[in-house]
Structure 1
Amino acid sequence: MECGNIVIRKIVNSDIASVQHFLLGQLQDLFSQDGQNAITDDVWGLAKLYIEPVRNQMWAAFSPEGTVIGTIAICEYNDRIAVLKGRYPGKTTAEIGRCYIEKALRRQGIGSRLLKEVEAFGYEKEYEIIYLHTHRFLPGGFHFWEKQGFGIVVEEQGDAQIVHMEKSVASK
Structure 2
Amino acid sequence: MDYITIERIGLSRQDEVIAYVLKARKELFPGLDHDRLPVDLSAFQATYIEDKQGAFLVGRNTRGDIVAAIGMLRYDGRFPFLKFRQDDAVEIVRLYVDKRYRRQGLGLKLFHALQDIARHQGVKTFYLHTHPFLSGALAFWTICGFRELVTKIHGDFETIHMLNSDLDVQVLH
TM-score relative to the length of structure 2: 0.88
Percent identical among aligned pairs is 28
Looking at structure 2, the residues matched to 169 and 14 of structure 1 have their Cα atoms a distance apart, in angstroms, of 36
CA distance in 2, matches of 1:133, 1:36: 20
1:135 aligned residue (128, 131, 136): 131
Question: How far apart, CA to CA, are the structure 1 residues paired with 2:157 and 2:58?
Answer: 26
Does residue 166 of the first structure (1) align with residue 171 of the second (2)? no
Which consecutive unaligned segments of at least 5 residues does structure 1 have?
none
2:78 paired residue number: 80
- Alignment deviations for residues 77-133 of structure 1 (CA, whole Å, 9 cap, x no partner): 11011332xx11131211111111112211111110111012112211112110000
- Of 22-31 and 96-105, deviating more is 96-105
Task: State the shift of 1:146 in Å.
Answer: 1.2
Which residue is 2:69 aligned to? 71
Q: Secondary structure at the match of 1:48?
A: helix
> Match of 2:113, SS?
helix
Where 1:133 maps in the other structure, the secondary structure is: strand
TM-aligned CA deviation for residue 37 of structure 1: 5.1
* Corresponding residue to 2:21 among 5, 18, 23: 23
Stretches of 4+ aligned residues off by more than 4 angstroms = 36-39
Matches within 5 A, 1:54-65: 54-65=52-63
Would you tell me which structure has more helix in proportion to its own residues? Answer: 1
TM-score (normalizing by structure 1): 0.88
Letter in 1 for 2:70: I
Partners of 1:124 and 1:31 lie apart in 2 by 33
| Number of residue pairs aligned between Structure 1 and Structure 2 | 166
RMSD value, Cα: 1.9
- SS of 2:157's partner is coil
CA contact (8 A) 1:119 1:169 kept: no
